[in-house]
Amino acid sequence: MAWQFILATCSRYSGDRTWGVLLLKYWLTGKINVLLHPNYMWLANVAGFVLLALSLLKSVQLLQIVTQRSARTYFRSLPTMQHFSLFPPGWSSALLLAVAVFGLQFTPQPFASEVALNRGVTDTLAMTRSQPQSFRSTTSPEERSLIDWIRTLDVYPEPDAYTGQQASVEGFVIHPPELPDNYLMISRFVITCCAADTYPVGLPVKLEGSRSTYPPDIWLRVKGSMITETLNGQRQLTIQASQLEEIEEPENPYEY
């Protein structure tokens, strides 16, 4: 009877345990960067430990019971279990386990240009979005990151005010269909809480030749100077690129 019992134990609590393992795996492999804002990572890590502890505690208890009583009594008591629930008994555990096992196989990928186009890239932070936590107007232009530029624009949107300033920003390439062939968009995703609320921001980059040299989704460091261009009937701050350098995709793809 004991083996049957251990089997029951394992299947019963493996859902919780596997989710614990999965949460800790995201942490240890750094993939948590793709999923969450750093402020909330500790929550996920602690939850991983708690889930593991819970399932261990339950398993130890059940094994103690094996040594004390016959398993038959245990199984006789099983059919009386009843809980108000959406699912038939056991389905929920099975679903949890299946999804967690799948999660262990699956590597989360940071979003790319396709999602950015679908969500609409802008050079403004929408009204509902993260307001600048710290705004350093003293930063010299070439030290501003892409998101710093967007925040600066947010405070003072007149593009002419920045003409001639030097820019050096990093981001991934988007080819927005509405821009002419010698423009690409350099962009980053901004995250507030988790990947579900990421949204892209970006600035147009004016190239010497065709953008096909720089395919979508590669990461670039763009150096150049700021100009004002009229794109789709809108005056927009644009980087006139003087130097484009391909870089590695950063481990943490989001900006905050």
Partner 1 sequence: MSQLNNALTLFFSLMVEAIPFLLIGVVFSSALLLFVDERKLVAAMPRSPLLGALAGSLVGFLFPVCECGNVPVARRLIVQGAPASVAIGFLLAAPTVNPIVFWATWTAFRDQPEIVFLRIGFSLLIATIVGWVFSAQADLRPLLQPTVAQSMSAPQGRLGRRSRRKPVQSTEPASELLQSGTFLLNSSGQPMRMEAVGMQAALAASSITTKPLGDRLQMMLDNVVQELRELGGVLILGSAIAATVQVAIPREVILSLGQGPITSILAMMLLAWVVSICSTVDSFFALSFASTFTSGSLLAFLVFGPMVDVKNIGLLLSVFRTRAIVYLFALAAQLTFLLTLIVNLYVS
Residues that bind partner 1 (CB under 8 A): 13, 15-16, 19, 23, 26, 32, 34-36, 40, 43-44, 46-47, 50-51, 54, 57-58, 61-62, 65, 68-69, 74, 77-78, 80-87, 91-93, 95-96, 99, 103, 106, 108-112, 114-115, 118-120, 126, 128-131, 192-197, 199
- Residue 98 CB, nearest distance to partner 1 (Å)? 9
Nearer to partner 1, 116 or 241 (CB): 116
User: Within 69-165, where are the H helices?
Assistant: 71-77, 91-105, 113-119, 146-155
| Residue 9 beta carbon to partner 1: minimum distance, rounded to whole angstroms | 9
Closest contact distance (angstroms) between CB of 143 and partner 1 is: 26
Beta strands 234-247 and 183-190, pairing class:
unpaired
**Nearest approach, Cβ of 148 to partner 1 (angstroms)?**
18
In the bound state with partner 1, the residue whose beta carbon lies nearer, of 54 and 231, is 54
User: Interior CA angle at 177 toward 35 and 108, to 5°?
Assistant: 15
> Considering beta carbons, is residue 25 or 206 the nearer one to partner 1?
25
Whole-number minimum distance, CB 147 to partner 1, in Å? Answer: 15
Residue in this structure with the two tokens 């968009």, named with its chain if needed: 185
Dist. CA 256–CA 37, nearest whole Å: 8
Nearer to partner 1, 96 or 231 (CB): 96
CA 192, 194, 196, 198 torsion-angle sign:
positive
Q: Extract the tokens encoding 55.
A: 């399932």
Burial of residue 172 (number of CB atoms within 10 Å: 0-12, 13-18, 19+)? buried
Nearer to partner 1, 76 or 235 (CB): 76
Q: How many Å apart are CA 150 and CA 164, to the nearest integer?
A: 17
